[in-house]
Amino acid sequence: MTSRRAVARRKVHARPPVVVIPLAAAAVAFLAIPFIALLQRAPWSDLRDLIGRPVVTDALRLSLTSAFSATGIALVLGIPLAWVLARTEFPGRPLARALVLLPMVLPPVVGGAALLFAFGRRGLFGGPIYDSTGFLLPFSIWGVIAASTFVAMPFLVITVESGLRASDPRYEDAAATLGASRWTIFRRITLPHATPSILAGAVLCWARALGEFGATVTFAGNLQGRTQTMPLAVFLALESDRDAAIALSLVLIAVSLAVLLPLRDRWLAV
């Protein structure tokens, strides 16, 4: 009932207080000016040529692969974690929540270093794994994906957790009285009810993974075609080839807008 009213309320046009308007305008200007400056410096005539270079295409491919992979892993692991945090009581719960938030507040470089100590060639887990299988996580695309997942999954977990907390658990009770097993309830009631928050969380997670820099450069390095994602390529190009850096930035902006714009109004207005 309340949700139906909330939808109706959106149609009411509120008149904002006077101070709100200039402050909101200042916020928009602050966000818009850097992009205008970027567009103004863009080498429009050479753009097609710049975008076709292997540095750009390699980085774009790597960035998209790692961002989508990280989002996929975050969905598989993060939704169950969000459910556990939202619906159960256990002694270590505050600690688990703090752990989930840690990668969000920590500088990503620290996260990358921590990953290196855990999964590096001589790391806590990485050492034994390398010795027995020869598999090495850092300085490979797997390292890029691991670093992205590490910093981006918390966004999905906290979004889905709050979505689950907001949904009425009595629907799950209703399903139980109809004979549904716990798995059926999770699959047919809990997940569909949490869909808006799952989508919102996945978008935030994807966006965070796409922009990931610090943990990636620390843990996976900066090898073109293997671990050099778009942000790393932009950073490197700024030193050597400013036009290429701008071209890479424009591609990144275009990709981000293409994903965010269609979803914004439908799913992110939580």
Q: Does 64 bind other proteins (CB under 8 A)?
A: no
Q: Are 126 and 118 in contact (CB under 8 A)?
A: yes
Helix axes 108-119, 141-166, angle to 10 degrees: 120
Q: How many residues bind other proteins (CB under 8 A)?
A: 19
By CB under 8 A, tell whether 269 contacts other proteins: no
The verdict on 176 binding other proteins (CB under 8 A) reads yes
If the CB atoms of residues 49 and 168 are measured against other proteins, the closer one turns out to be 168
Scanning 53-61, 106-114, 182-190, 260-268 for contacts with other proteins by CB under 8 A, the matching segment is 182-190
Residue selected from 80, 128, 192, 262 as contacting other proteins according to rule CB under 8 A: 192
> Which residue, among 69, 92, 85, 86, has the nearest Cα to 205 in the 3D structure?
69
Shortest approach of other proteins to residue 75 CB, angstroms?
20
Shortest Å distance, C-beta 257 to other proteins = 30
> Does 259 engage in binding with other proteins (CB under 8 A)?
no
Identify the residue among 175, 200, 209, 217 touching other proteins (CB under 8 A).
175
Q: Amino acid identity of 221?
A: G
Among 178, 258, 261, 269, indicate the residue that binds other proteins (CB under 8 A). Answer: 178
List, in sequence order, the alpha helices (H) in the chain: 2-9, 20-40, 47-51, 54-87, 93-105, 108-119, 126-133, 141-166, 170-177, 182-185, 191-210, 214-219, 230-240, 242-263
**How big is the chain, counted in residues?**
270
252 CB neighbour count, 10 Å cutoff: 20
Residue 45 is classified by DSSP as G
Count CB atoms within 10 A of the CB of residue 191.
15
Which of 20, 101, 174, 260 binds other proteins (CB under 8 A)? It is 174
Stretch that binds other proteins, among 52-60, 103-111, 183-191, 218-226 (CB under 8 A): 183-191
Binding mask 143-172 for other proteins (x = CB under 8 A): -------------------------x-xx-
Q: Which residue has tokens 């004979």? A: 179
Positions that interact with other proteins (CB under 8 A): 1, 4, 168, 170-171, 173-181, 184, 188-189, 192-193
